[in-house]
Amino acid sequence: MSDLEHKDGAKLARVLGPWTAICVIVGSVIGSGIFLVPSTVAINAPSIGGIALVWLIGGVFSLAGALSLAELGAMLPRAGGPYVYLRAAYGPTTAFLFGWTEFLVVRSGSMAALAAAFARYFSRLVAAPAGVRIEIWQAILAVSAIAILATINVRGTKPAGNVQVIGTGIKLGALATMIALPFALGKADFALWTPLVPDRFNMTSFEGMMAAMVAVLWAYDGWVNLTPLAEEIEAPERNIPRALIGGMFVLIVIYLGMTLVYHLVLPLDRIAADRSSGAAERPPVAFDYCNMLLGRAGSIAIAFVVSASTFISLNGNALCGPRTYFAMARDGIFPARLARIHRRFGTPATAITAQASWASALTIASTLLIVVDPPKAGLPPPLIAFWTAAHKMPLYDLMYGYVIFGATIFYALCVSAVFVLRVRRPELDRPCKAWGYPVTPALYLAASAILMISMLRKNPVEAFSGLAITALGFPAYLAFRGRSGSKTIEY
């Protein structure tokens, strides 16, 4: 073992205060979604009322999950968050499958998608060198961003938390300015809020709303990010619930405000057309919005804002994700080296590096699917079909479709753990109980079921690919358990 590492089983120090806790929630969630997905929402829910409803329902849905996690996070303030709750409620196999999927798809895929969004906007500020394809240049920028943030996080949890606080303050200030601009410049046109309601509602409308909801939930994704850091948060029984609940209210207000002001400046059909062609370089809605208000200066400003926003959201993922793999390794069901703590910096350095490496690999592999023409033959037809579809998509779109389905499955299991542990472990101290129990977690679970059924119908390739990756975790779990021996863990 390196002389720069503590022995396995050591605990992480509590170095993150209440402001950092809430900034992990808000700063992680507000990444690229509110700048990129409003076009997808407008395509699938083409009325102002429908658009606002989707964003509100997505926020309430996520808040219901956060209220449930507030109870679990205060009750079991250990590194790993959802992994810990799933292990306590369902045992090590389910918990392992979560961590396995988190590493392979959900967390690393989120990082890859956010890095792609960062690169897309930053490449507007720093153009690709002559002779370099824009897709290649964006992949270089994305991998560089992941590497920089991994280095910061390896060198200290407190410095990484400070980056999160400063960055979140900057992005909230930028978003507040964007919301105020149409009114300050006299360019808010309420006549553009048409149609206010859809002409009719049928199954096609419902399926469109569900497709829009997938995009909205990607924008809200990250509300679980605080709980893996529970072992490093001061007074977790108080700060975790406050950050989860307060952070979600901030997010709902900001997202609704941004969505509605987009539609005060741009006609609905223009927003819906921004990216409907699937062209990677069509201007996203936030770019169009700022360009309409401020001209070229607005284009430069929004490129900087979104680059900075996604960079900070990436930092939140670099902070929280590795704690899951660290906890699994500490419990003996993941490679033991991932449980090592850097002696000088006090961070799970190996776990941080592993996540960053895999997210970079996903970015590179996805870029190759986009830039290399798919073969006509020589591969199984489903693989050729997947490659052909991926070849036509922006890197960002390719990644987030796979993230949401896998995340929804395990988030639902985490929320259901509130019911299970109230029955199986009533003796555990619960400094904070889920508000509205049992209605609140039941609401989240019902909405999750509807969403997953819709995704299976509309995006079966992404959904079944996520299920296949999860299923591969069963033999992997048996291999890890057999190699290291199973520890009896009582949370």
For the chain, the domains span: 18-484
Q: Is the dihedral of CA 451, 55, 171, 117 positive or negative?
A: positive
5 φ/ψ angles, rounded to the nearest 5 degrees: -130, 140
For 309-363, how does the pLDDT look when each residue is reduced to its tens digit (9 = 90+)?
999 999 999 999 999 999 999 998 999 899 999 999 999 999 999 999 999 998 8
Count H helices and E strands in the chain, helices first.
Answer: 20, 0
Q: Sort 482 into a burial class: Cβ within 10 Å, 0-12 / 13-18 / 19+.
A: exposed
- Cβ atoms of residues 351 and 318 within 8 Å: no
Q: Could you tell me the CA-to-CA distances from 148 to 289, 314, 407, 434 in Å, in that order? A: 30, 10, 26, 37
Reported confidence tier of residue 277, pLDDT bands at 50, 70, 90: very low
Q: What is the pLDDT of residue 382?
A: 67
Sign of the Cα torsion 409, 90, 105, 110 reads positive
Question: Tens digit of pLDDT for each residue in 148-176?
Answer: 999 999 999 999 999 999 999 999 999 99
Of 356, 459, 469, 130, the residue nearest 347 (C-alpha): 356
Residue 235 has pLDDT above 80, yes or no: yes
What is the rounded distance in angstroms from the CA atom of residue 83 to the CA atom of residue 92?
9
Q: Which of residues 207 and 43 earns the better pLDDT score?
A: 43
* % of the chain surpassing 90 pLDDT: 51
Q: Which CATH number fits domain 18-484: 2.40.110.10, 3.40.50.2000, 2.115.10.20, 1.20.1740.10?
A: 1.20.1740.10
Predicted confidence band of residue 403 (pLDDT cuts 50, 70, 90): low
pTM of the model: 0.85
Single out the residue of 318, 44, 91 nearest to residue 208, CA to CA. 44
Average pLDDT of the segment spanning 121-139: 89
pLDDT, position 451: 75
- Least reliable range by pLDDT among 376-385, 416-425, 431-440: 376-385
Distance CA 280, CA 224 (A): 30
